[in-house]
A = this chain, B = another copy of it.
Amino acid sequence: MYMAKVIGSIVSTQKDSALIGRKLMIVQPVDINKENVRCEEVAVDTVGAGIGEYVLIARGAGARIADSGDTPGKRSVSDCSIIGIIDRFDS
């Protein structure tokens, strides 16, 4: 998992049916000092995050399971999901 800042969203009309109704957010990975690292990713929002918030991102099957929510096996094509809103980093 990694830390990221929500910086935008994507509008897509023609898409896989599993994405219908999903919020597709553009997230910028950040380090512990909130500096940008790597390139932006696109993540399905599963927790109601807003632009400017710092979030926790899961990839791969973790992202898919988060996207399926409480319905195990529900079809998902997500490989990147917002799974938490970060209140605070402690170090």
State the A residues within 8 Å of B (CB).
Answer: 1-3, 7-19, 24, 26, 29, 31-32, 37-44, 46-48, 51, 56, 58-66, 70, 72, 75-81, 83-91
**Inter-chain contacts of A1 with B (CB < 8 A):** 24, 41-44, 78-80
Helix, strand, loop or mixed for chain A's interface? mixed
Whether the pair A32, B7 counts as a contact (CB closer than 8 A) is yes
| A38 engages B41 (CB within 8 Å) | no
Docked Cα-Cα span, A76 to B77, in Å, equals 14
* Cα distance, A62 to B24, chains bound together (Å): 15
CB neighbours of A85 from chain B (8 A): 12-15
A2 CB → nearest B CB, Å:
6
